[in-house]
Amino acid sequence: MDIRKLMDMLNKESAGNTGDAEERTSRIFNSQNEENVVYIDNARLETASDQSERKALLSTTTQWADRIMGEILIDLGKLRAEDVNRVLEYQRREGVYFGEAAIALKLVDREDVLQALSSQFGYTYNRDENSLSRDLVMAYAPFDSQAEEFRSIRGQLVSDWLSREQKTLAVVSPQSADGRSYVSANLALAFSQLGHSTLLIDANLRTPSLHKVFNFSGRIGLSMLLAGRVKMQDLDVLPDQVAGFQHLSVLGCGAVPPNPAELLGKGVLPLILGELQKYFDVIIIDTPPASYQADILSIASAAGSALLVTRSGRTRLEDSQALIAALEKVDATLVGAILNQY
């Protein structure tokens, strides 16, 4: 994607549409934390109190909102102050964006501009290809077609599912290798990029994988919580904040236990999720395959909502139907289904 197309896309996404269901529901959902929300509307008559409050919010929670790209690139050490005039002159002459002009003059590269844009628009962008799994398309390729698919899924969930009462979602599938972890991780990133405080939980106590996706090795995780080896009051500091990703935390599996079904089924998980919901706007749970039915039903029942993941050419219809029927028995609402093709 060229810089012009990217800028047009980001400006469109930032401006939004007041009739858009995703934005409309997002504002409703965030209304309980109004002190953290900034609406930058057209000029209107404001009281002195309004102006003071807005100035305070802009100076604390959205420092990127009024910064120009040249300033950001200078702060990042990618441009010198004396280079800015060259870029501006080229920009005026050619009628292009600042980032395009800087690239054309070979002062910065495309990755530098993407990093600056991520700061301007409060967006997560990770250019270190060695730190995390390449499966995190929302981090490494946030403007490609796969990322757009996750935005579409996020938009539907925001519109039809997410609310103050519903914020925990179990990602389930009939078999292994259907893509649950891939969907869970990227969906969590998508919500975090929307500005929601998001927690991703690895509840696959059989073969956990999120510690590999996010490259952490902490042995304190969900299994120890379920076993009562971590105090409930420590929940707010237990999940790992993912470096370089705004609004995203991950709670890994921890040590793989010898008795996953018993740990998940003894009634502690709903208490844990209830406590975690105090700290996060959205909770996404990665799960084992449905062949471990006792695990799945315990997790889905505690979450209250489930998203079904299937794989093209591999998942059998009868297996999906059996999983859906099982979810209904534990009163877990099926909010949608995803067909993976890979």
| Residue 15: per-residue pLDDT | 57
User: Domains along the chain?
Assistant: 3-120 (no CATH), 137-340 (3.40.50.300)
Residue 61 — pLDDT band, cuts 50, 70, 90? very low
Percentage of residues in the chain with pLDDT exceeding 70? 75
Orientation angle between helical segments 145-160 and 180-193, nearest 10 degrees: 70
Mean pLDDT of 193-216: 92
Model pLDDT for residues 128-158, shown as the tens digit of each residue: 555 678 889 988 888 789 999 999 999 999 9
Q: What is the CA radius of gyration of the chain?
A: 22
| Residue 118: per-residue pLDDT | 72
Model pLDDT for residues 62-100, shown as the tens digit of each residue: 444 457 888 888 888 899 989 999 999 999 999 888 989
Please tell me which residue, 200 or 126, carries the higher pLDDT value.
200
**CA 238 to CA 242: how far, in whole Å?**
12
Sheet holding 305-311, edge to edge: 240-241, 248-251, 198-202, 282-286, 168-172, 305-311, 333-340
Model pLDDT for residues 155-175, shown as the tens digit of each residue: 999 999 999 899 999 999 999
The angle subtended at Cα 228 by Cα 227 and Cα 230, nearest 5°, is 115
Residue 233 neighbours by CB under 8 Å, 6+ apart: none
Tell me which residue of 294, 298, 341, 290 sits closest to 319, measured CA to CA.
290
Model pLDDT for residues 231-279, shown as the tens digit of each residue: 766 766 677 777 777 789 999 998 999 999 999 999 999 999 998 999 8
Residue located via tokens 């309004």: 50
Supply φ then ψ for residue 184, to 5 degrees: -60, -50
| Residue 189: per-residue pLDDT | 93
Mean pLDDT of 322-333: 97
| Residue 51: per-residue pLDDT | 52
Across-strand partners of 311?
340
Tell me which residue of 86, 115, 91, 113 sits closest to 101, measured CA to CA.
91
Please tell me which residue, 43 or 75, carries the higher pLDDT value.
75
Residue 22 scores a pLDDT above 90: no
| Residue 125: per-residue pLDDT | 62
| Residue 37: per-residue pLDDT | 37
Model pLDDT for residues 283-318, shown as the tens digit of each residue: 999 999 999 999 999 999 999 999 999 999 999 999
**CA 86 to CA 102: how far, in whole Å?**
8
Percentage of residues in the chain with pLDDT exceeding 90? 50
**CA 184 to CA 327: how far, in whole Å?**
18
- Class of residue 231 by CB neighbours under 10 A (exposed 0-12, middle 13-18, buried 19+): exposed
| Residue 239: per-residue pLDDT | 79
Model pLDDT for residues 211-232, shown as the tens digit of each residue: 989 888 766 789 989 998 887 6
| Residue 52: per-residue pLDDT | 55
